[in-house]
């Protein structure tokens, strides 16, 4: 045995060294990472090859035939989608059950932080949404709603919160249901029994359990609406919303329903439904993304328009070209121009789409943060 090891130890050493260096190349993006990316583009043309004009025109024709929203039915379609989410033609009108000043050591190092408040929103069936309000010392009188994705607590978005807090924004921070500081109740449903939302199953599966509840999407969107109700008493000059991943999806839906959100920035959050089957393993989406009553009432293209149009309103969608999670590649080319043209049919509003080709992570890059801040500054003048 020792003789065999000595005979092949050079090969074993080379294998271990190669494996370790390969891991470091991918993990820390060191040389030759750029060459690896180029090779990956070459080997996977469907993901990384831009679409032709003929392909773009073909999808534009498909989208034109499927689009529901028109200037003439804008408000009525918004009412239809509101009914899907809340089983009501009107948005919730209540306020948070409590807003309490707290100290959280995780955030004490934030620049320009004056204080933190914890808000609690009581929802039906025992669900409670818990988030934070970050108050700046020097305030620009603008509100930013930040929504974290499936990573968990909005602590994962601390760098993003810090970026806007330093610039004077008041920030309301949210997590998806069952994640972060939100509770995980046991819920009894007649004909189904008790659903254990606090089980050890992963949160993707637990989110799937919401399909057994009445108005399941309300648990994702209602806390946002209720906190906007609360914000209306504070006289902010504008309300913006930024979300990553599942939080990006929540940003899209909330901005489509609530016109009080002036500027929305969903990051790596969704695709029009027709594009999801090009690469369904990456882009099909979680339960809330493909909830049948939602997608049968309005395509995501309709939601993008609902979120974009209106006086002093816009949506900038940000997608990471090389996102390792989802909504990556060049598929955005298939609907970017189509939507920009559709928006021109309305009296006011704006839609734009940014493909971040430098960000190799499922995150909001520094460049994207800068673009968001610049967009808000420009549109707020």
Q: What is the pLDDT of residues 253-267, one digit of tens each?
A: 999 999 999 999 999
Mean pLDDT of 91-116: 98
- In the sheet with 314-320, reading across from the earlier edge strand, the strands are 98-102, 113-122, 128-136, 170-174, 142-147, 238-244, 263-267, 314-320, 351-356
Pairing between β-strand 238-244 and β-strand 186-189 as defined by DSSP bridges: unpaired
Segments making up each domain of the chain, as ranges: 2-42, 56-379
pLDDT for residue 48 is more than 70:
no
pLDDT tens for 327-350 read: 999 999 999 999 999 999 999 999
Bigger pLDDT: 94 vs 1: 94
Cβ atoms of residues 226 and 172 within 8 Å: no
Structure tokens at 46: 């469907």
- Least confident stretch, 24-28, 187-191, 350-354: 24-28
Cβ atoms of residues 171 and 161 within 8 Å: yes
The reported pLDDT for the residue numbered 330 is: 95
Residues 6+ positions from 319 with CB-CB distance below 8 Å = 267, 268, 327, 328, 332, 353, 354, 355, 356
The reported pLDDT for the residue numbered 44 is: 52
Pairing between β-strand 193-196 and β-strand 351-356 as defined by DSSP bridges: unpaired
The reported pLDDT for the residue numbered 11 is: 65
Q: In the CATH scheme, what is the code of domain 56-379?
A: 3.40.50.1820
pLDDT band for position 283 (cuts 50, 70, 90):
confident
pLDDT for residue 86 is more than 60:
yes
Percent of the chain whose pLDDT exceeds 90: 78
Query: CA end-to-end span of the chain, whole Å?
Result: 77
The reported pLDDT for the residue numbered 39 is: 53
List the one residue out of 366, 357, 266, 248 whose CA is nearest residue 314. 266
DSSP 52: P
The reported pLDDT for the residue numbered 42 is: 41
Q: From CA 110, how far away is CA 100, in angstroms rounded?
A: 19
């Amino acid at each position: 045995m020792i003789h065999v090891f000595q005979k092949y130890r050079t090969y074993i050493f080379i294998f271990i060294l190669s494996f370790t260096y390969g891991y470091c190349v991918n993990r820390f993006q060191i040389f030759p990472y750029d060459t690896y990316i180029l090779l990956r583009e070459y080997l996977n043309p469907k993901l990384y090859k831009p679409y032709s004009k003929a392909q773009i025109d073909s999808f534009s024709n498909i989208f034109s035939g499927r689009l529901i929203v028109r200037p003439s039915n804008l408000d009525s379609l918004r009412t239809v989608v509101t009914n899907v989410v809340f089983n009501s033609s009107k948005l919730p009108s209540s306020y948070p059950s409590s807003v309490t000043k707290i100290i959280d050591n995780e955030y004490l190092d934030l620049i320009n932080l004056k204080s933190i408040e914890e808000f609690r929103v009581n929802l039906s069936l025992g669900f409670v949404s818990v988030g934070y309000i970050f108050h700046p010392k020097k305030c620009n009188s603008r509100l930013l709603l930040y929504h974290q994705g499936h990573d968990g607590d909005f602590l994962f978005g601390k760098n993003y919160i810090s970026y806007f807090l330093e610039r004077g924004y008041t920030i309301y921070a949210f997590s998806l249901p069952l994640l972060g500081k939100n509770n995980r109740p046991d819920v009894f449903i007649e004909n189904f029994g008790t659903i254990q939302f606090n089980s050890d199953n992963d949160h993707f599966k637990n989110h799937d359990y919401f399909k057994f509840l009445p108005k399941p999407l309300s648990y994702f969107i209602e806390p946002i609406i209720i906190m906007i109700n609360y914000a209306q008493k504070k006289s902010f000059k504008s309300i913006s919303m930024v979300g990553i991943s599942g939080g990006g999806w929540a940003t899209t839906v909330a901005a489509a329903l609530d016109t009080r959100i002036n500027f929305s920035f969903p990051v790596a959050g969704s695709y029009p439904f027709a594009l999801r089957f090009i690469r369904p393993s990456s882009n099909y989406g979680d339960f809330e993304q493909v909830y049948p009553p939602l997608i049968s009432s309005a395509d995501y293209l309709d939601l993008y328009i609902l979120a974009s149009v209106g006086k002093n309103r816009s949506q900038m969608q940000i997608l990471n070209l090389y996102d390792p999670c989802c909504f990556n590649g060049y598929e955005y080319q298939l609907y970017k121009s189509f939507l920009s043209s559709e928006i021109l049919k309305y009296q006011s509003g704006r839609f734009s789409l940014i493909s971040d080709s430098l960000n190799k992570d499922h995150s909001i890059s520094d460049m994207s943060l800068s673009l968001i801040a610049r967009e808000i500054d420009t549109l707020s003048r």
